[in-house]
Amino acid sequence: MLGCGVVGSQVARLLREQADELAARIGAPLELVGVAVRRPNRHPDVPVVEVIGGIEPVRTLLLDALRGGKSVVSANKALLAEDGATLHDAAAAAHVDLYYEAAVAGAIPLLRPLRESLAGDRITRVTGIVNGTTNFILSRMDATGSGFDEALAEATALGYAEADPTADIDGFDAASKAAILGGLAFHTRVTAGDVYREGIGDVTAADIASAKAMGCTIKLLAICERASGAVSARVYPAMLPRSHPLAAVGDAFNAVFVEADAAGSLMFYGRGAGGAPSASAVLGDVVAVARNRRNGSRGTGESAYAALPILPMGDVATRYHVALDVADRPGVLAGVAGAFAEQQVSIQTVRQEGRGDAATLVIVTHSAADAALAKTVDRLTGMDFIRGVASVMRVEGMPGE
């Protein structure tokens, strides 16, 4: 085992405590022959020592293991999202297994269902809440009306956010997971760099209030979609109707909503992080690898035959919610509607809130190319009767489109 931190120590504990049960399930005992840790003096009782962390030297270590005929179980989402292809190729060449259930949504059995249970179906869309830190923050903002900074401070105090929360807040963690999900769901290869990404740092209490006014909540969503013969993979905060099953996923929980041609809508829900939940996923993979080995076989390998191109974000069909502080005088609505029409964006609803200096126009569009929506917002900000853009947010999961 490489590493013995929050997850590794739990894996070691489960291996010890459930030794008899695991042996019965596999038909042979599991033995942990060594643990490699970065700071050996922190683990005086552990015999094997090695240095690991980040992308390298882990990649090299795992490639050496795979090429040496060892199956690998990993929870390293960053590495798998950046260069999973190299690892998969090495595993296939050596006829060994490469499993990484813990890399996405912790304990939730998700990758195996995607690559095995749904292998006879055609997945059309995967929408996930896959980062617990940001879900905790957005849930708090929704529950208390507090601003982002306040909710982040609370998350930090409670241990839900790390000292440097950039990877979570800016969506890098969710983007890695989106890359892994998109690849598995659509039988293609997606890297973290292919994923369009916006974090939650700019979500305001006003955005949350706007969302509430239309029966929505705001969630950081990782979305993978098959469209126009390509794959779209993207991460951003979006408004989601409260009636959507993902809307009720609160605190630091994760959930992934899968839409498939035949299966319809499915949702997988559970703890996305933490030592014990991640260890459960790691051990599930270890048992699978061990069973395969007993069987003289290997499990389902990578299935990336589709080799789909990545759809640029500008071409992705999305819907926008736009709240504009406007001058309350005749012709304003016509001017606003004209700006949308100019970009061929169709408006679903317009609602004026307040009068006079407090007049706000709230627009929800039908779905249109993201680039056209972005251009429309740019155009609106320059118009003289628009006093300000109060809120711009994508809308996902609305029925009737």
Here the tokens at position 271 are: 């703890």
93 binds a second copy (CB under 8 A): no
Nearer to a second copy, 37 or 281 (CB): 281
DSSP designation for 194 = G
In the set 70, 77, 177, 212, the catalytic residue is 177
CB of 391 to a second copy, least distance (A): 28
Contact of 230 with 237, CB cutoff 8 Å: no
Helix axes 132-144, 205-213, angle to 10 degrees: 70
CA dihedral 332→333→335→341, nearest 10 degrees, is 170
Distances (CA, A) of 177 to 31, 98, 153: 30, 16, 25
Q: Is 126 helix (H, G, I), strand (E, B) or coil?
A: strand
- 6, 51, 119, 341: residue in contact with a second copy (rule CB under 8 A): 119
Q: Does 285 bind a second copy (CB under 8 A)?
A: yes
Structure tokens, 240:
């989601």
Tell me the helix, strand and coil percentages in the chain, rounded to 5.
40, 25, 35
From 107, 184, 316, 362, residue interacting with a second copy (rule: CB under 8 A)? 107
Residue span 163-202 as binding mask against a second copy, x where in contact by CB under 8 A, dash where not: ------------------------x---------------
Q: Which stretch binds a second copy (CB under 8 A): 45-53, 254-262, 367-375, 391-399?
A: 254-262
| Span near a second copy by CB under 8 A; candidates 147-155, 210-218, 291-299, 350-358 | 291-299
Compute how many residues bind a second copy; rule: CB under 8 A. 58
From candidates 38, 43, 59, 291, binder to a second copy by CB under 8 A: 291
**269 sits near a second copy (criterion: CB under 8 A):** yes
Rounded-to-integer distance, Cα 155 and Cα 383, Å: 39
- 177 tagged catalytic: yes
Q: CB of 105: closest distance to a second copy in angstroms?
A: 10
CA distance 280 to 289: 14
Beta carbon of residue 335, minimum distance to a second copy (angstroms, whole number)? 43
Q: Which is nearer to a second copy, 27 or 53 (CB)?
A: 27
Assess 266 for contact with a second copy (CB under 8 A). yes
| Spatial distance between the Cα atoms of 192 and 222, rounded to a whole number of angstroms | 12
CB atoms within 10 A of CB 41: 7
**Where in 329-388 is the site for a second copy (CB under 8 A)?**
none
Shortest distance, position 281 Cβ to a second copy, whole Å? 7
Are β-strands 360-365 and 347-353 bridged in parallel, bridged antiparallel, or unpaired? antiparallel
Distance CA 45, CA 34 (A): 11
Residue 181, helix vs strand vs coil: helix
Q: Which residues in this chain contact a second copy in the complex, by CB under 8 A?
A: 10, 14, 18, 21-22, 24-25, 101, 107-109, 112-113, 116-122, 187, 245, 248, 260-271, 274, 276-277, 279-288, 291-292, 295-298, 300, 303, 305-306
Q: Which residues are catalytic?
A: 177
